[in-house]
């Protein structure tokens, strides 16, 4: 039984490392772009299977050990953990400590099965689409840009081969090494190797054009959840790792996107800032700024604000 407990603990600790590696691999160029992606996905299958097997052993151990220790009375159930009511006595003693350890190991095994199993489905979704979550976000913004300007163009994601089976074969190969040399990758017919990069440059240019200029009318300390900016601002603070920026009255901000009570933008720097600081950007409360009168003609909402309302 202690061996099974160590097995479950090792599986749990080992897969925390797998989880970190897989999450890191999701931010690379594409799902096929890491040599370890296929191996990590295979481990995400074998780890839940091993934990299911361990959980089955734990359940059967507790069942067989407790079956002859149960006594039923009138509206009562008692468990005698001192010894089994059979002759001869079991070779392996099963007391209260062993029962608690087995129950704890069962919880670890089930938790690992659920967590790593969900990670496996996420990884397979990325592989079959040949598209990471970041690339999906870029594709969504490309469609929004085309629809916003009513352009006569269609953005096709270049690394999706158009077939899940073809995408699958790019990661899982007989040699264990995915297709591609690290710089150039197989692309869909009719697409260019740098279509995704060109689209990102277009989105950056569009972001600068659609930015709105604001003037700071109230100081802001840069706190994550400011108490002095209103209850709604406090409870609707963006749940993101992006920074907050400190504001002083009279400064100017170029807002590029926002929520109902928060905006995200770049501070317009002047010569008074320290040399070497190129950009200061982050989130800040909407009620700390006002739109500049000179930008009245650009009255559209910052990019992404319509969706977040």
pLDDT at 92: 67
Average pLDDT over residues 71-78: 68
Beta-carbon contacts of 221 under 8 Å, excluding residues fewer than 6 positions away, are 246
Cα separation, 121 vs 11, in Å, equals 19
Tell me which of 13-17, 152-156, 209-213, 286-290 is least confident: 13-17
Tell me which of 41-45, 75-79, 135-139 is least confident: 75-79
pLDDT at 182: 67
Q: Which range has the top average pLDDT, 1-15, 161-175, 220-234?
A: 220-234
pLDDT tens for each residue of 10-32: 344 444 333 333 333 333 344 34
pLDDT at 126 exceeding the cut of 70:
yes
Cα separation, 131 vs 158, in Å, equals 10
pLDDT at 5 exceeding the cut of 60:
no
pLDDT at 169: 85
Q: Which range has the top average pLDDT, 87-96, 198-207, 263-272?
A: 198-207
pLDDT at 9: 37
Q: Which two tokens stand for residue 97?
A: 């400590």
pLDDT at 67 exceeding the cut of 90:
no
Q: Which two tokens stand for residue 56?
A: 């089955």
Cα separation, 103 vs 83, in Å, equals 19
Average pLDDT over residues 268-273: 66
Tell me which of 82-96, 126-140, 151-165, 255-269 is least confident: 82-96
Tell me which of 115-129, 183-197, 251-265 is least confident: 183-197
The DSSP code for 86 is: S
**Percentage with pLDDT > 70 across the chain:** 72
Average pLDDT over residues 45-72: 85
pLDDT at 75: 72
The DSSP code for 243 is: P
Contact 240, 258 (CB under 8 A): no
pLDDT at 6: 34
Average pLDDT over residues 107-126: 91
How far CA 74 is from CA of 39, 66, 77, 80, in Å, comes to: 56, 19, 8, 17
pLDDT at 272 exceeding the cut of 60:
no
Residue 80's pLDDT band, with cuts at 50, 70 and 90, is: low
pLDDT at 50: 93
Average pLDDT over residues 101-105: 92
Mean pLDDT of the chain: 77
Give 174 or 12, the one with higher predicted confidence: 174
pLDDT at 8: 38
């Amino acid at each position: 039984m202690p061996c099974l407990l160590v097995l479950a603990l090792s599986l749990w600790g080992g897969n925390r490392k797998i989880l970190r590696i897989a999450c890191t691999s999701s931010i690379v160029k594409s799902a096929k772009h890491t040599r370890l992606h296929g191996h990590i996905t295979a481990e995400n299958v074998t780890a839940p299977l091993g934990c299911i097997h361990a959980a089955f052993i734990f359940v059967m151990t507790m069942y067989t050990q407790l079956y002859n220790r149960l006594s039923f009375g009138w509206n009562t159930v008692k468990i005698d953990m001192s010894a089994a009511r059979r002759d001869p006595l079991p070779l392996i003693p099963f007391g209260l400590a062993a029962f608690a350890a087995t129950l704890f190991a069962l919880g670890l095994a089930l938790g690992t099965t659920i967590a790593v199993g969900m990670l496996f489905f996420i990884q397979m979704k990325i592989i079959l689409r040949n598209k990471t979550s970041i690339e999906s976000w870029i594709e969504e913004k490309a469609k929004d840009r085309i629809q916003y300007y009513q352009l006569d163009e269609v953005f096709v994601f270049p690394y999706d081969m158009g077939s899940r089976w073809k995408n699958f074969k790019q990661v899982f190969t007989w040699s264990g090494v995915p297709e591609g040399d690290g710089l150039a990758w197989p692309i869909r017919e009719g697409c260019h190797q740098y279509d995704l990069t060109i689209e990102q440059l277009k989105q950056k240019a569009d972001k600068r054009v659609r930015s709105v200029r604001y003037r700071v009318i109230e100081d802001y300390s840069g706190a994550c959840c400011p108490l002095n900016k209103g209850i709604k601002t406090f409870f609707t603070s963006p749940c993101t790792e992006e920074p907050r920026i400190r504001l002083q009255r009279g400064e100017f901000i170029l807002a590029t996107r926002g929520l109902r009570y928060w905006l995200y933008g770049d501070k317009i720097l002047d010569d008074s800032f320290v040399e070497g600081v190129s950009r200061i950007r982050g989130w800040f409360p909407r009620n700390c700024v006002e739109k500049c009168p000179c930008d009245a003609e650009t009255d559209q909402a910052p990019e992404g604000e319509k969706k977040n309302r």
